[in-house]
Amino acid sequence: MSTDTVIHHSETDPGAGVNTRKVFIKTYGCQMNVYDSLRMGDALASEGYVQTEQMEDADLILLNTCHIREKAAEKVYSALGRLREMKKAREAGGQELMVGVTGCVAQAEGEEILRRAPAVDVVIGPQTYHRLPEALRRARQGNRVVDTEYAVEDKFEHLPTAEKARIRSRGVTSFLTVQEGCDKFCTFCVVPYTRGAEVSRPLPQILDEAQRLAEAGVREVTLLGQNVNAWRGEGPDGREWGLGDLLYRLAEVAGLARLRYTTSHPRDMDDRLIEAHRDLRSLMPYLHLPVQSGSDRILKAMNRRHTAQEYLRLVERIRRARPDIAMSGDFIVGFPGESDEDFQDTLRIVETVGYAQAFSFKYSIRPGTPGAELADQVPEDVKAERLERLQALLLKQQADFAKSCVGKVIDLLLEKPGRNEGQVIGRSPWLQSVNVDAKTSQIGDIIPVRIIGTGPNSLFAEPARDVVGT
Ligand code: 5AD
Ligand code: SF4
């Protein structure tokens, strides 16, 4: 579920006094890290920290890291090398600069980070963010802290939820983590090791957070989990609920007009979830359902536990339930042993499904995973060539999908002001960015627009007066 985006958070509190401590959080990797960074920001806000966009202004710098592919750790170490210089300069002037490493590199490297990076004061794994303020206090007393336990207590219960004003400042769309960790053990993946076993957040906690978000003006919520459709909880009826049941319930929350979820494993797409796609107008017609490869041999070696045919049949069932659904996926090329023929199978499955959006990666050896032990690693140049061909096909499909939207009238959620006066950037049901002149509408409104053109990464639209037909 990760893309290689780097997101800088900015939530500077203009009313903050001069003595307030400032934190700069740099987020790498997937949406869950984006969510975690916000929650860490909330935890630190209750300790008096405000967030800054300027690393140079910060008294505390946190790197919230990603370990999904190679070189991530090395990138973090070189960033930490630069921070060491900054810290030395600060200390020479009698000022404090604290540095923390959080997220999956923290989990994977632990103590090693303290050994290799003298600038670092705290190393906190993804399950112990709620202990961050305490760790900072200990570090300030001169004890560097590593906390990468899989905590027994529920971190969500201990992390303060943002108050309305803070939620509001974040906009009309929001993530909401409902599940963490993964039990699938795909042979290429570090997630079961860095994020640990699957844990579902209890239903009341999720409903409470959804309610707060809605009350603060959030219109669209994306439920997050490394394996989100494995979410399980106890319903008010005492029955075990799955993600489908949860979506039906969330669809009743007043104000929440749109629901999404990511990332899903094909094996966990059950009937109830597919029915939710059929029945719920607020469940957006967009599904990120990674297949990784189109070759049965490779799928088996990856321990994906389904065949290409099974995936295709599943996509058919989902499309029967929700014909306008747009499919998104992840692909890995050059998994150990992948032959030209296997790669052709991947191109074939892409052709058959037709993706509106997709992420594709060269296989990257992750020490400690079964894939790293396999003989028959694919040479780098072969991987690069396959990736190029796959990406060309996926990009073409993405462009074709965008073109197929031209002329349609769709519901647009107005998200933020555009570059020009009167222009607004909105989100289509299929997660595309859409520019529209919508002077009389407000951010957070959902309005009918007609798509009139496509740009490189977005669509152009005009307000439509017709009946909406997405
Ligand atoms: N090498 C390349 N890509 C990987 N992914 C996960 N692990 C690896 C790896 N070792 C990709 C998968 C997954 C996405 C989040 O990242 O496609 O779905
Ligand atoms: Fe990794 Fe596979 Fe779990 Fe996804 S389902 S997080 S790829 S182990």
Fold of 409-463: OB fold (Dihydrolipoamide Acetyltransferase, E2P) (2.40.50)
Which ligand lies nearest the alpha carbon of 378? 1
Distance 140 CA to ligand 1 centre (A): 37
Distance 264 CA to ligand 2 centre (A): 9
**Ligand 1 near 31 CB (within 6 A):** no
- pLDDT in the model for residue 72: 80
What CATH number belongs to 160-404? 3.80.30.20
**Ligand 1 near 363 CB (within 6 A):** yes
The dihedral through the CA atoms of 231, 63, 175, 164 has a sign that is: positive
Which ligand lies nearest the alpha carbon of 192? 2
- The CB-side HSE value for 410 (13 A sphere, CA atoms) comes to 28
- pLDDT in the model for residue 421: 86
Q: Whole-model pTM?
A: 0.92
182 is in an annotated binding site: yes
405 is in an annotated binding site: no
What CATH number belongs to 6-147? 3.40.50.12160
Rounded to whole angstroms, the Cα distance separating 334 from 422 reads: 47
Ligand 2, closest atom to CA 292?
Answer: 7
Find, among 346, 323, 454, the residue nearest to 401 by Cα.
454
Which ligand lies nearest the alpha carbon of 293? 1
Q: Is 94 exposed, middle or buried (0-12, 13-18, 19+ CB in 10 A)?
A: exposed
- pLDDT in the model for residue 81: 94
What separation in angstroms does the CA of 277 have from each of 260, 330, 356?
10, 21, 17
Ligand 2, closest atom to CA 226?
Answer: 6
Mutate to test the pocket of ligand 1, among 69, 263, 394 (most ligand atoms within 8 A of CB): 69
- pLDDT in the model for residue 419: 87
Distance 234 CA to ligand 1 centre (A): 31
Ligand 2, closest atom to CA 263?
Answer: 4
Rounded to whole angstroms, the Cα distance separating 212 from 208 reads: 6
Using the CB atoms, write b or e for 444-460: b if 16+ within 10 Å.
bbbbbbbbeebeeebbb
**Ligand 1 near 68 CB (within 6 A):** yes
**Ligand 1 near 195 CB (within 6 A):** no
Per-residue pLDDT of the chain (470 residues; tens, 9 = 90+): 444 344 444 444 444 444 689 999 999 999 999 999 999 999 999 889 999 999 999 999 999 999 998 888 888 999 999 999 999 999 998 898 999 999 999 999 999 999 999 999 999 999 999 899 999 999 999 899 999 988 767 788 878 778 888 888 889 999 999 999 999 999 999 999 999 999 999 999 999 999 999 999 999 999 999 999 999 999 999 999 999 999 999 999 999 999 999 999 999 999 999 999 999 999 999 999 999 999 999 999 999 999 999 999 999 999 999 999 999 999 999 999 999 999 999 999 999 999 999 999 999 999 999 999 999 999 999 999 999 999 999 999 999 999 999 999 999 999 999 988 889 999 999 999 999 998 888 999 999 999 999 998 899 999 997 554 44
Q: Using an 8 Å Cβ cutoff, are 125 and 107 in contact?
A: yes
Pocket around ligand 2 at a 6 A CB cut-off: 182, 184-186, 189, 191-192, 226-227, 265
Distance 183 CA to ligand 2 centre (A): 8
Rounded to whole angstroms, the Cα distance separating 144 from 135 reads: 8
Distance 69 CA to ligand 1 centre (A): 7
Distance 166 CA to ligand 1 centre (A): 33
Q: Which two structure tokens, joined as six digits, stand for 142?
A: 């001169």
- pLDDT in the model for residue 153: 73
Distance 298 CA to ligand 2 centre (A): 15
Mutate to test the pocket of ligand 1, among 189, 195, 267, 380 (most ligand atoms within 8 A of CB): 189
For the chain, the distance separating the N- and C-terminal CA atoms, rounded to the nearest angstrom, is: 26
Distance 318 CA to ligand 2 centre (A): 21
Distance 302 CA to ligand 2 centre (A): 10
**Ligand 1 near 258 CB (within 6 A):** no
Task: List the domain boundaries for the chain.
Answer: 6-147, 160-404, 409-463
**Ligand 1 near 290 CB (within 6 A):** yes
- pLDDT in the model for residue 162: 82
**Ligand 1 near 333 CB (within 6 A):** no
**Ligand 1 near 302 CB (within 6 A):** no
Question: Bridge-partner residues for 199, per DSSP?
Answer: 180
Residue nearest to atom 5 of ligand 2 (CA): 184
